[in-house]
Amino acid sequence: MTEYLLQGKLNAIDGNSSKLAEILINASKLVSTAKGCRLYLVSQSNEDINAVYVTEIWDTKEDHDNSLKIDGVMDLIGQAMPLLDGKPEGKELKIIGGLGV
């Protein structure tokens, strides 16, 4: 069973949510083969066009933290930062059960 889930919300500056989502989708491609990566999903809110969400599922928090060391990941983070309207919001969660777990 997977152990670590990170749910993040990033608010883009008006007019930049598609560009932010594209950067995050590129990040998903970089980490998709990382040890322990089970899911890296990018989504948008139907109610708030500036909100972009990232849902990550990893075997361990350590696996997630190590993914930040993959070549290109920090560059993508650097590209995303100027597009943000405020600090990203995030929650670290432990998966306890359900479909697909």
Q: How far apart are CA 12 and CA 30, in angstroms?
A: 22
Q: Is 4-93 in CATH node 3.40.50.620?
A: no
Under 8 Å between Cβ of 67 and 73: yes
What integer pLDDT is reported at residue 54 of this predicted model?
97
Instruction: Give the pLDDT score at 19.
Output: 98
pLDDT in tens, 55-99: 999 999 999 999 999 999 999 999 999 999 999 999 998 888 887
Cβ(8)–Cβ(90) below 8 Å: yes
Q: List the domain boundaries for the chain.
A: 4-93
| Pairwise CA distance, residues 37 & 35, whole Å | 6
Token pair belonging to 16: 């930049």
Interval 4-23: pLDDT, tens = 999 999 999 999 999 999 99
Judge if pTM exceeds 0.85.
yes
Which phi-psi region, left, alpha or beta, contains residue 36 (left: φ > 0; alpha: ψ -120 to 50)? left
| Confidence at residue 94, expressed as pLDDT on a 0 to 100 scale | 82
